[in-house]
Amino acid sequence: MKKENKTRKTIKLRAVNVSVFLLGFVLLFGGFQSQIRNKWNAGSDLRPVYADYEQQPTGSIDVLFMGTSEIHEGVSPMTMYHENGITSYNLATSWRHPITTYYQLEYALKHQTPKLVVCDFAALFEPDLYDALGYKISDTMPDPLVRLKLIHAICEYDKSVDPIDYFLPMVRVHDMWSTMTAADIGEPEDNKNYPPQFRGGMIFMREYDGDDDFEITPELWTPDDSDDTIPQANADYYDKMINLCRSKGITIVMLNMPRVEDAPNKAATWAAMENFFTSRGVKIYDYNTYEAVQALGLDLHTHYRDETHLNWRGAFLFSEHFAQVLKADYSLPDRRGQYADWDKTYSDFAAYYGIGG
């Protein structure tokens, strides 16, 4: 009897020891993982943006912006609201791939049913799904089911991907521990500098720091020898985006931002892009032409932070113009005064940028 009791005590003690060890490991692992995973090398953290997005009352967003950094930094929902009463949300992100954009859209449309989705097609010809982009979209995805589907899609697209890297971000550290600095731990710098509650996007107050010899001239849009073959997987995901929107009665349009850097590439691939979208009945708003840039009054050194991205002046100018276009084309309602929170947020926005309220 004594021996039995002793055995039971020993087993209990072992079970406690093992449990303590495993618990300690899980806590350490989770703790490290929650801090270190932020190094995506692909821009800001989307989590505060998604948290703010989910707080928006259902039905309050009329326009949803998706896509890449040109929209991420070039479209200001607050400007569109203040000038034209359009309530929009900017879920575009730096870097892009149709797979990540599609699953972001799928997530977004679970919470809102906007009248219009505006997306860019910069990713249409993009062959590579950069690990950092995949990690960022996956790590920050609040919806676990959408996250699972995204990871599965990425692994199907790129057979060399190890799903462990997506489910356990901690194991990615082996690839980067030796280059990490204090800035890589904790909240990303961009998040600290830009509040997420300005309805997504990230409008930088930065002056132009691109190539001083770069000039916007009509000759810039001379086509180069870029390949205009649309990878089938990319085409499939754009089709999925179009079909998803239409299944919910949402109009989807394509926006080509005034990204002057790759104007020759755009010129070379324009026919293929135009054919792709017009054959699917998708309207294209093309601002990547010399005439459009001139009509908008965009000046490289005043309105751009580099040859690809607008700065805050350029974003405000473009957003104001584009809001008028959308309002006219789609009879979007004027929501000014309808949501007190939007007015309050605009006041903060105006104070942040030092503009009139």
- List interacting residues with other proteins (CB under 8 A): 14, 17, 20-21, 24-25, 28-29, 32, 131, 160-162, 164-165, 170-175, 177-179
Strand ranges across the sheet with 63-66: 88-90, 63-66, 116-119, 251-256, 284-286
Q: By C-beta, is 28 or 295 nearer to other proteins?
A: 28
Q: What is the DSSP string of 178-189?
A: GG--GGGSSS-H
Q: By C-beta, is 175 or 211 nearer to other proteins?
A: 175
Smallest gap from residue 144 Cβ to other proteins (A) = 21
Length of the chain: 357
Smallest gap from residue 326 Cβ to other proteins (A) = 42
Q: By C-beta, is 24 or 127 nearer to other proteins?
A: 24
Smallest gap from residue 11 Cβ to other proteins (A) = 10
Phi-psi category of residue 165: left, alpha or beta, with phi > 0 → left and psi -120 to 50 → alpha: alpha
Structure-token pair, residue 87 = 């309530």
Sign of CA dihedral 287, 290, 292, 295: positive
Smallest gap from residue 174 Cβ to other proteins (A) = 5
Q: By C-beta, is 164 or 295 nearer to other proteins?
A: 164
Q: By C-beta, is 38 or 319 nearer to other proteins?
A: 38
Q: By C-beta, is 38 or 88 nearer to other proteins?
A: 38
Smallest gap from residue 101 Cβ to other proteins (A) = 23
Smallest gap from residue 21 Cβ to other proteins (A) = 6
Q: CB 224: neighbour CB atoms within 10 A?
A: 12
| 10: helix, strand or coil | helix
> Cβ contacts of residue 235 below 8 Å, gap of 6+?
124, 276
CA distance 200 to 53: 8
CA distance 184 to 210: 26
